[in-house]
Amino acid sequence: MTHWIVAPVILPALVAPFIVLAARYHIGIQRVFSVVGVLALIAIAGGLTWQASDGTVTLYQLGDWAAPFGIVLVGDRLSTMMVLLTAVLGLFVLLYAIGSGWDDRGRHFHALFQFQLMGIMGAFLTGDLFNLFVFFEVLLIASYGLMIHAGGNDRLRAGVQYVLFNLIGSTLFLFALGAIYAETGTLNMADLAERVRLIDAEETVGIRVAAVLLLLVFAIKAALVPLHFWLPSSYAEAPAPVAALFAIMTKVGAYAIIRVYTLVFPPDLEVTQGLHDLWLLPAALVSLAIGMIGVLAAKKLDRLVAFSVIGSMGMVMISIALFTPEGIAAALYYIIHSTLAGATLFLIADLVRCSRANLQLTPQAPMAGAALTAALFFAGAIAMAGLPPLSGFLGKLLVLDAAFDTDLVVWIWAVVLTSSLISILGFARAGSVLFWKAHSVTPPEGETPLPRPAPLSYVAVGGLIALLGLHTVFAGIVHGYTTTMARDLFAPGTYIETVVDTPGKLSKPDIDKAADKEDH
């Protein structure tokens, strides 16, 4: 048993208090430690991904307690890929926060950032539902702090809404966990997968309620309509680097849905019949439509980006709701794309805010550095709207292709294609108002122009767009990888065996413990 798998959780958990305790008054030292920490995270996550890429499922028993009794961390292809994605996104967001000076506008940005990373990594790696709740709380409490970073009345008000909504979500999560425990007597995901099948067909009321409650909780996290109301104002009011990091938080919800509803409540399970096609898919279609209509209707750039995130989550959820290996593979490809594109757009919105009086989509005098910002916005909008040549187009094609054989193909194709058109209109309108119409407005006399954004900000945004480019160029490899990942998810035998059968303290006496002790 190696200890590397726990490092993505432990490392930020050590860096964060160090920053608070030892470098509280020195922003330079904080920056150095934060960046080095994230670079180390990327290296570790890369190693873990490489290790899992041949199909190995790595198990880590905390305190060496065997699976149903102790908490386990599990690294398979899916979770290690999400960890790597988080770490890479974290680096660029951090570079932007440093370049734009956002981290210096309030206290403890870097410490909270590390705690946030810790929570996200833990949520991806854990193999236990209650532990998932705990890591959700870790990432949420850090996100509350980040959300109201740098203060301001509007931000605090949006923060109150955000916190209250998430507290309700956490309470629902606890109700779901209580119901699951009462029905099955376990909260370990692999153990649950075995026990849920054993439930008598006559006595499924409790477990069905639990499955729906759990889906609601994850749907709140994934901002699925009609549970999306917390997202637009909180993402729009949050500081830009924080909003960009939050782009991965909606994906935590999507990840949890993929994990739990392929492993514990798979689509062929009698108990949860109808949950995916009857409820999840229509909600996803409405999310996509609402998100893209919101893009067209938004009066401010930050709201526009927030709604585009809702729309792209709708796209991810459509693909997930198909619950076929092709659908999940397409969803995973699109999750990577949507995370990078959403983060890019939030950062670009902040580039605009930096050298413009406000973010209202009205013609205003030209801003400093408009050419470069406009080019970046153009690339980001193409990615998010799903036009060729960037990965949004490929992701959308994969989703459409995966939906081709289903009964609802007409609905899915109609909504996806129409909403794409609407989002293209929305982004084109925003871009032309922001960058082209500005040239017809003469700046008022005697007003000093706002400064142009720092070069490091451009490097961070450019880096994210370069990643989107790589995601497009190596689409074949990435999609091949997500296809094997989806195949693993629908044949979770290795996962369950690894978790349940690996010996540890309190494991069944028939397993030879001597063999295990040699490993330590």
Partner 1 sequence: MELLVASAIGIMTAGGLYLLLRLRTFPVILGISLLTYAVNVFLFASGRLTIGAPPILRDDITRYADPLPQALVLTAIVISFGMTAVVVMIGLGAYLGSHDDHVDDLPEPDADASEGRS
Binding site for partner 1 (CB under 8 A): 130, 134, 137, 140-141, 144, 148, 151-154, 156-157, 159-161, 163-164, 167-168, 170-171, 174-175, 177-179, 181-182, 233
Beta carbon nearer to partner 1, 368 or 506: 506
- Residue 176's closest CA among 205, 215, 203, 139? 215
* Neighbouring C-alpha atoms within 13 Å toward the C-beta of 376: 27
Least separation in angstroms between residue 382's CB and partner 1 is 31
Distance CA 48, CA 7 (A): 10
Least separation in angstroms between residue 142's CB and partner 1 is 11
Q: Specify the 3-state DSSP secondary structure of 128.
A: strand
Contact in structure between 346 and 235 (CB atoms under 8 Å): yes
Q: What is the 3-state secondary structure (H, E, C) of 351-413?
A: HHHHCCCCCECCCCCCCCCHHHHHHHHHHHHHHHHCCCCCHHHHHHHHHHHHHCCCCCHHHHH
Q: Is the dihedral of CA 93, 382, 423, 311 positive or negative?
A: negative
The helix-helix angle for 455-473 and 475-490 (nearest 10°) equals: 70
Beta carbon nearer to partner 1, 36 or 160: 160
Beta carbon nearer to partner 1, 71 or 399: 71
Contact in structure between 379 and 390 (CB atoms under 8 Å): yes
Contact in structure between 432 and 381 (CB atoms under 8 Å): no
- Phi first, then psi, for residue 75 (nearest 5°) are -110, 105
Beta carbon nearer to partner 1, 180 or 332: 180
Beta carbon nearer to partner 1, 236 or 281: 236
Least separation in angstroms between residue 188's CB and partner 1 is 11
Least separation in angstroms between residue 270's CB and partner 1 is 23
| DSSP type of residue 505 | B
Least separation in angstroms between residue 420's CB and partner 1 is 29
All residues at 6 or more sequence positions from 382 whose CB lies less than 8 Å from its CB, including other chains: 389, 390, 392
Q: In angstroms, what CA-CA distances link 206 with 180, 183, 279? A: 8, 6, 19
Beta carbon nearer to partner 1, 164 or 421: 164
Least separation in angstroms between residue 303's CB and partner 1 is 11
Beta carbon nearer to partner 1, 180 or 460: 180
Beta carbon nearer to partner 1, 163 or 227: 163
Least separation in angstroms between residue 184's CB and partner 1 is 10
Least separation in angstroms between residue 207's CB and partner 1 is 13
